């Protein structure tokens, strides 16, 4: 008996997945719950187990292709003979089997993410639920143009969104007849794909998986958010002294203390005074959502690319607890054990390369957040204090902000408050809950 396995609903709002890699091939015998394929969505990379024991008769989507939720992913011959077709009797993707989440990116934001593990419930795809009907090529075009496909009025058969619908939306924006109100138009227009002619000895690597998610996230952020950057110089000399004094006590608690936890705490204090920077724009309702919880994203380079881990409820953690959580998240990324919660849900992001932080950068906002702060290296530099030239330990902080929601004043005042706390660490502890 041929069993047709539909790609299950593997996360809220997920309508399709990219095939990262098959672990089996046609003709292979598989066991129940044996991992058979890794699929990357906008929210996580999931490892799909086999819902049946039998022989793989047909694989409908190859590496790098996009499989919409509800489409037949693979056909398994439960009798053990080959040759079943994709038109065999179909079944839901449920039966209690849970894919394993490996991670999601950012984008920026994600920025985007690395890989990790967490259970995700598989829901029976036979349930009637409203989904956007569109081909993978149409969805890919929408992502390239920065168009939310759910806002496009469909003109195709059975309510399907066509490529022409997406192009029209990207050029003209939504009609008031379909939305009931004037809404923001897409900022990006379609360009002809760039072809790179062969010019000598080259290597061509498919743009897929994590790198593709990062590329899509960065493109959407730059094409949607109206970026501007503000920079401030921070005198870290006092904080360097405080951190040096606290290192021994931190070590007693098994904590390797660096400067990032102090920066996170200063950022949280600043966000409480300037809530517009801890917000997001709900584009479907045209509402600014000011968040009263503080989940701070930490952007860093992981084994598979740019990752944003999330320190949840950072306002409720001590310096030592914050340091411990940052270390835990970094280790989870390195060992591929980060969960979906570890890699999603941030409200404001801190981007740091540590000692490689350089002099200045303009980080790309981790969309749909409003702002991201860039942390640069601390260096001994001459500074004027009380009319004298002295050596101080200085560092630049840069903040990129979405000008649609926040003004230069908000960014400048926020960064000035962060600066004051970092330059006088005793006041930082007074701000802590």
Catalytic residues: 403
Residues 345 and 312 sit within 8 Å (Cβ to Cβ)? yes
Q: Which residues, at least 6 apart from 127, have a Cβ–Cβ distance to it below 8 Å?
A: none
β 66-68/29-30 pair status: unpaired
H or E stretch including 398? Answer: strand 388-402
Give the bridge partners for 6, in sequence order.
72
Q: Are the C-beta atoms of 273 and 417 separated by less than 8 Å? A: yes
As to burial, measured by CB atoms within 10 angstroms (0-12 exposed, 13-18 middle, 19+ buried), residue 352 is buried
Q: Which residues pair with 29 in a beta bridge?
A: 55
Q: Determine the Cα angle at 419 with ends 218 and 291, to 5°.
A: 55
Handedness of CA 205, 211, 213, 217 (dihedral sign): negative
Q: What is the DSSP-derived secondary structure letter of residue 129? A: -
SS3 357: coil
Contacts of 214 (CB under 8 A, 6+ apart): 105, 106, 107, 110, 111, 112, 305, 306
Please choose, from the candidates 421, 427, 433, the residue with its C-alpha nearest in 3D space to the C-alpha of residue 266: 421
């Amino acid at each position: 008996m041929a069993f047709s396995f539909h790609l299950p609903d593997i996360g809220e709002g997920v309508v399709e997945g990219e095939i990262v890699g098959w672990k089996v091939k046609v003709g292979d015998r598989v066991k129940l719950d044996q991992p058979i394929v890794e699929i990357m969505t906008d929210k996580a990379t999931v490892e799909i187990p086999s819902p049946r024991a039998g022989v793989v008769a047909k694989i409908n989507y190859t590496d790098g292709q996009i499989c919409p939720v509800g489409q037949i992913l693979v056909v398994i011959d439960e009798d053990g003979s080959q040759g079943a077709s994709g038109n065999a009797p179909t079944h839901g993707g449920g039966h209690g089997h849970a894919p394993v989440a490996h991670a999601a990116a950012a984008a920026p934001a994600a920025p985007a993410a690395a890989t990790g593990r967490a259970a995700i419930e598989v829901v029976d795809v036979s349930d009637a639920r409203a989904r956007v009907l569109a081909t993978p090529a149409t969805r890919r075009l929408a992502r390239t143009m920065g168009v939310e496909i759910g806002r496009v009025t469909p003109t195709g058969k059975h309510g399907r969104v066509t490529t022409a619908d997406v192009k029209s939306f990207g050029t003209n924006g939504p009609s008031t007849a379909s939305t009931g109100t004037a809404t923001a138009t897409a900022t990006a227009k379609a360009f002809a794909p760039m072809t790179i002619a062969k010019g000598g000895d080259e290597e061509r690597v498919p743009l897929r998986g994590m790198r593709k998610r990062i590329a899509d996230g960065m493109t959407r952020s730059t094409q949607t958010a109206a970026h501007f950057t503000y920079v401030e110089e921070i005198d870290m000399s006092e904080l360097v002294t405080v951190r040096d004094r606290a290192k021994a006590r931190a070590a007693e608690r098994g904590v390797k203390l660096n400067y990032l936890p102090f920066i996170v705490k200063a950022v949280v204090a600043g966000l409480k005074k300037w809530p517009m920077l801890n917000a997001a724009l709900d584009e479907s309702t045209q509402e600014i959502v000011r968040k009263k919880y503080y989940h701070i994203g930490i952007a860093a380079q992981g084994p598979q690319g740019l990752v944003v881990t999330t320190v949840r409820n950072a306002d409720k953690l001590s310096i030592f607890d914050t340091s411990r959580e940052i270390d835990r998240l970094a280790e989870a990324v390195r060992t591929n054990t980060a969960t979906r919660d570890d890699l999603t849900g941030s409200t404001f992001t801190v981007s740091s390369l540590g000692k490689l932080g350089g002099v200045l950068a303009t980080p790309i906002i981790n969309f749909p957040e409003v702002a991201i702060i860039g942390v640069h290296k601390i260096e001994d530099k001459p500074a004027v204090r009380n009319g004298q030239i002295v050596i101080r330990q200085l560092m630049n902080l840069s903040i990129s902000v979405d000008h649609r929601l926040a003004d230069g004043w908000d960014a400048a005042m926020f960064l000035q408050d962060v600066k004051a706390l970092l330059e006088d660490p005793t006041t930082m502890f007074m701000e802590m809950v």
